[in-house]
Structure 1
Amino acid sequence: MPDVDPALAEALTDVRKAYRLVWSYQRRVLDLAKIVLGAFPEHEFYAWRPRAGDPPPQLTGDPLKRWAWDFVPMAEACILFLPGGADRNAPKAGEWMVELRVRVDSGHEGYEAEGEVDPARFDPAERCTSSLWLYMWLCDEGVSKNWYNWVWQRGPWPDVDGTPVPHPGGPFRIVGQQVDLATLPDRASVETMVADFRTMATQALGVPA
């Protein structure tokens, strides 16, 4: 049997610990998403999308041709919720979509590189942050457009100062809020944060809470 390289064995131990920690983080994010959805009982899951890469390849997708980021899609991801029974291809006036966006590492922000992003070039983890954003996308006038492909994909992410921003291509307005994940240690803190966001967003957009 080949001899074990002590340095490599130690490094792989660190990798096992890291994967277990990542699992724990992702479990927490998914539980957080359920709490967010619970604050909008009239809504249901619609779609999700990673933002730090592409979704992982399907069964016949060649992983050797993909970035490593594609296999950690929860590093930065967006989850969208629509009113139950809403027509995804025909938003109606007064309907609004809720977006939850979570990013584990602000080191990715503003990073410029040709080709695959290399986290070894990020700022030190101690100087970075982990954040959560909530957005409300309000339809002001019914249109025959798809919520994901035409509204969300083409819309801006506004500043998070509570000021609604118009959609550049249609009758929609968006308002958002950003929160440091380190300020959300438990369920109660998440519930309070989401309730505050709903109050702020509905007032800013002028719709019933």
Structure 2
Amino acid sequence: MDVSHEQATVLVNQVQRSHRLLAGFYQRILPSLDDISANFGAHFWYWSPIAFDRPCMGSTKPSRKWGWDYLPLVASQFLYVRSDTTDPVFIELRLHTDPAILPGQRSPKGEPAPANLPDAEPALRIYLYWLVPGSSVDIKSEWEEVEHPGGEADSVSRLSENLWGTWMDIPLANHIVAPQETIARISKHISLPTSVS
């Protein structure tokens, strides 16, 4: 494909603005995820991309990887845990800035072509987990053994002998405008710890 100098200049300037916009977006959204979990006494555990790989190591030729691998936050999970109380909880926040690229939404073959993806509403998918009353197992270990909660949003599922869970989707624009609404929705299922051990 031939590109004129003028077209190339427009393209690289758009890329530059896009990177700056993304950096500003992440500077705003990432602390809001920490704030959600802090309201429930949960602490950061780890994060990872959910639709693609992390960017490659320095010794890997970048052109051998998918371009999407260089956008790890486009679909990513952030895990927070409150395990030092008598009321442990696990909060999994999934940032779906482009749901069209999620597995199950895109073709399972080959790298998704950005120009061919349909529009999809960005969302914050939230999975919540808590122990069955009277259970004393480690919530992280229990979480690692179960599938995500199913059923309708906000319905409670018994995921194992010791673990309950639910899920919900919050339109990402709604969360940005009113994060307190996200916290209120979560608080229907989990609350601040009642005591600290």
- In the superposition, the TM-score normalised over structure 2's length comes to 0.79
Give the match for residue 96 of structure 1.
89
Give the match for residue 130 of structure 2.
138
Percent identity of paired positions between Structure 1 and Structure 2 = 17
- Once residues 92 and 82 of structure 2 are traced to their aligned partners in structure 1, the CA distance between those partners, rounded to angstroms, is 12
Shift of 1:185: 3.9
Match status 1:202 vs 2:194: no
Unpaired stretches in structure 2, ≥5 consecutive residues = none
Match of 1:172 among 163, 176, 179: 163
> After the TM superposition, which residues 16-165 of structure 1 pair with which residues of structure 2 at under 5 Å, given as runs?
16-40=16-40, 42-83=41-82, 85=84, 94-109=87-102, 110-123=105-118, 125=119, 128-140=120-132, 141-143=135-137, 147=141, 151-152=143-144, 154-165=146-157
- In the superposition, the TM-score normalised over structure 1's length comes to 0.75
- Once residues 126 and 54 of structure 2 are traced to their aligned partners in structure 1, the CA distance between those partners, rounded to angstroms, is 21
Give the match for residue 13 of structure 2.
13
Instruction: Give the length in aligned residue pairs.
Output: 187
Spell out, residue by residue over 1:101-138, the C-alpha distance to the aligned partner (whole angstroms, 9 max, x if none).
11111222421131222222211x3xx21101222112
Runs of 4+ in 1 over 6 A off after TM superposition: none
CA-atom RMSD, angstroms?
A: 2.9
Unpaired stretches in structure 1, ≥5 consecutive residues = 87-92
Query: Secondary structure of 2:189's partner?
Result: helix
- Once residues 20 and 36 of structure 1 are traced to their aligned partners in structure 2, the CA distance between those partners, rounded to angstroms, is 25
CA change 1:45–1:101 in 2 (3 A) is same
Contact 1:97/1:137 (CA < 8 Å) preserved in 2? yes
> What code does the residue aligned with 1:79 have?
F
Q: Which structure ranks higher in relative contact order (CA pairs < 8 Å, sequence separation ≥ 6)? A: 2
